[in-house]
Amino acid sequence: MNRPTDVTLGNIFPDHAPSQKVIDPVFLGGPLQSDQIFALVARRSSPGGHSFEIMPGLYAAFEAPVVDRIIETEPGRARFVAGLVAWRAGELRAEIDLGAWEVLEPDAALALRDPEGLWEELVRRVQRMRNTI
């Protein structure tokens, strides 16, 4: 989610006028379904379809009509992502238990912010968390 590409929605959808207005890059979400565009959108309720809440205030939309509607009506509240990462049942938990991942409080604003300096911010949060334990 934090790796911008050199591609915009306008490059991907040259005949879709609303996509031409989105200047932010499409982000790389992972190797699976990399030919699909997903939207991560900050909102209080579902944008519709089979969208699901990733964390309080952040939804993932993957159905084309819903993603199109987000592009057309609220692109400033969204990040557009190509591809995803998935784990088998129990796989992520095992990686967390091995120490490969840190778990922090969910923060929708942090998930959609400019990725510049994001890693450093997350490291500081982990350090603060460890200091309070």
The pLDDT value given to residue 44: 95
Q: Is the pTM of this model over 0.95?
A: no
Mean pLDDT value across residues 26-45: 93
Complete edge-to-edge strand list for the sheet that includes strand 32-42:
3-8, 25-28, 78-84, 32-42, 58-61, 52-55
- Residue 45 CB-half CA count within 13 A: 2
CB atoms within 10 A of CB 132: 6
Domain around 90 = 3-132
pLDDT at site 119: 86
**CATH number for position 74:** 3.40.1740.10
Please give the pLDDT value at position 1: 57
Q: Report the number of distinct structural domains present in the chain.
A: 1
Q: For 39-82, how does the pLDDT look when each residue is reduced to its tens digit (9 = 90+)?
A: 999 999 999 999 999 999 999 999 999 999 999 999 999 999 99
In this predicted structure, what is the pLDDT of residue 98? 95
